[in-house]
Structure formats: structure tokens, C-alpha cells
Amino acid sequence: MKIAFIGVGVMGKSMVRNLMKKGNELHIYSRTKSKAEEVIAEGAIWHDSVKDCVAGAEAVITIVGYPKDVEQVYFGPEGILENAKAGAFVIDMTTTSPKLAEKIYAEAKKKGLRALDAPVSGGDVGARNATLAIMVGGDEADFRDAEPIFRAMGTNIRYEGKAGNGQHTKMANQIALAGAMAGVCEAISYARGAGLDIQTMLDTISTGAAGSWQMSNMAPRMLKGDFAPGFFVKHYIKDMNIASQEAEDRQLELPILADVLRMYKDIEEKGMGDLGTQALIKYYEK
């Protein structure tokens, strides 16, 4: 399949590779070409604009930073919706606003395009190993037809319902993640204060009821002082802000989300927005 891929960053680079491994022809565009040089060398075809990248593609995939970036690549005369060929899939895998996903779906329908919102979970490890969880909103028939594309990038692939539901599911994921990440940080902080060997403590509790993906994958990075971003602090703050707004719109009180968002904003204000989410441990080290 001829696939256009917009946004070749930490996650996108591995996703492009995995799509190419399945024999797909990848056409790529990103704001910074230098970040895509590795996959260009491996066979991805570079384009200098979104318009040129999506021309003739059977599927267009986007995974960019913020809702404003999604708006920029989808709308306007140079955007995806004006330049993708009729019948193509347009799949936004950015974590963004459910309302924006609904807007893209409605506009895509008018142009004969098949829009799906399909945010992912699993970080850089999941992207690299093609084990991402992918949560998809849109028309079920389109989801079924696009499933082979998703299978190249992930293992836990779920149809969540109408347009926007993929993004709502990702918001639930990010809310749950907030508590899990803070819980790991607080366990480490407590163990340090009690004089425990932290690695021994983690090895002990990670196989029991307290175990989690965050404990198994992020805690070792925290202990090594490895704060390289599998997922940026600044992007997680963006996600939590969206989740908070959606909760407020529904008159829901989510105090754990609010507390963890405050903590992440604190470390971002100290210049840590470009670190990985595991940098939350630094909040407890002040």
C-alpha cells in the first residue's frame, strides 16, 4: 500500500519502519527533515510538503505534537483534506481533542475520505517493537478495512465506536497513567527515605498486585537517571489538559489527574518539558 506518514518523531520513526517491513511504500513529511534521515536511508520517500506527500496515497497517517499541529496539517489549501485522493484513509494517531477528531471526520466525509482517530499507547518501546495499543474511533467498516495497517504497528487494536471515541479512550488511558506514574515515584521516594535497596524493593513488588507497566519500564529508567523521552513531559501535559477540559465539560471531578498535572507543570516550569515522563521522579527529589 502507498502510505503517506506525517510526523517522523520519536514514535513516528519506528512506526514508519514497521510499516515498511510489511512491504508498504512510505512517503514521509516532517517539519525537521534531519530527524527523518535514518528512515529515508532505509527507503522512506521524503517530500517537502504535506500536499506533495499525500498525493495519490491510499492511506495518510499523522502523529504530530499538539492539536494546533493537527489543525495545520489537515486543513487549508495545502492540507490533507484538500489534497488526499477520494477513498483514502486519513488516520490521525496524535493524542488530541475528541472534538477535533469529530471535526476532521465530518469534513473528511464531505470529501469522500475515510477518517479514523487512532491514538496509541506504549511509548517508544511499543512503537519500536510494533506492540502499541491502538484505540480507534470512526466508522466500523473503515476500521475493519484499515486493520492491516494497524496490525503492522500494534498488537492490542480495538474499535472504540464513533468518531472521537478513540481519543476519549486515550484520555482514559492518560488519566490512569497519571496515578500509576505518581504511584511508582512515591514508592521509590518512600523506599529511599526508609533506607531500602530500591532495586530489590522494585523486584519484590513488581510481580505482585502493585506491579504495572510503569513500574517495569519507567522505574528502571528513573534509577539509572535515564530521562530520554519515549514520551515528552510537554506532550503529556497537553494530554492531561485535554482530559481535564473534557472532564470539566462533563462536570466530573478527577482529583488525582489534577494533582499529577500540577506536578508535571512544576517540573516543566523548571525546564524539563523535553524530558521523558519518567522525569516526574524529579518532583520528589526537590
pLDDT at position 201 is: 97
Burial (CB < 10 A; 0-12, 13-18, 19+), residue 191, is middle
Q: Please name the residue ranges forming H helices in 37-164.
A: 37-41, 50-54, 67-74, 80-83, 98-110, 123-129, 140-151
pLDDT digits (tens, 9 = 90+) for 231-250: 899 999 999 999 999 999 99
Q: How many whole angstroms separate alpha carbon 140 and alpha carbon 161? A: 7
CATH of the domain at 65: 3.40.50.720
State whether 109 and 208 are in the same domain.
no
Containing structural domain, residue 216:
168-285
In this structure, the answer to whether residues 110 and 176 fall within a common structural domain is no
pLDDT at 83: 98
In whole angstroms, how large is the CA radius of gyration of the chain? 19
**Same domain? 64 vs 89:** yes
Say what the pLDDT of residue 230 is. 86
Which residues in the chain land under pLDDT 70? 286
Kind plus residue range of the DSSP H or E element containing 257:
helix 255-267
Count of domains for the chain: 2
Query: What global pTM score does this model have?
Result: 0.94
pLDDT value at position 123? 85
Could you give the residue numbers annotated as active site?
170
pLDDT given at position 43: 97
Output the DSSP codes for 24-59.
-EEEEE-S-GGGGHHHHHTTPEE-SSHHHHHTT-SE
Residues 202 and 152 in one domain: no
9 and 150 belong to one structural domain: yes
pLDDT at 168: 98
